[in-house]
Amino acid sequence: MLATRFADVVVNMVLYGSKARGDAREDSDIDVLLVVSDAAAHLKRPVRQLAHELAATSYALPSIVAYTEAEWTRLGRLGSPFRAAVERDGVPVL
């Protein structure tokens, strides 16, 4: 639903963390990265909010992080350990 509703805004959606690695426990949260188009930077908060609302129907607590394409690119240039971990362990959802 999130990908459909914001198809023109969400550029990438990745499941990362323990669920993606396969070592999640019963109480593990669901880590999701959203990359939105630079032109839609103002929609980062509404996209995250909708994702949280959708996740409310799940038994796992969502942890949703959103970046614009430019922010995500900048993290790559800076050698961000977070970005490296997402790229290494992440499972593309979109």
pLDDT at 18: 93
The pLDDT score that the predictor gives to residue 71 is: 96
CATH code (residue 43): 3.30.460.10
- Given this model, what pLDDT does residue 4 score? 67
Number of separate domains in the chain: 1
Per the structure, the complete domain to which residue 35 belongs is given by: 2-92
CA distance 2 to 14: 13
> pLDDT at position 44, please?
74
pLDDT score of 2 = 59
**CA end-to-end span of the chain, whole Å?**
11
Token pair recorded at residue 54: 């959708």
Mean pLDDT by 10 residues, the chain (94 residues): 70 93 89 89 76 68 88 98 97 90
User: At 68, which helix (H) or strand (E)?
Assistant: strand 62-68
Sheet (strand 10-16) strand order:
62-68, 30-36, 10-16, 91-92
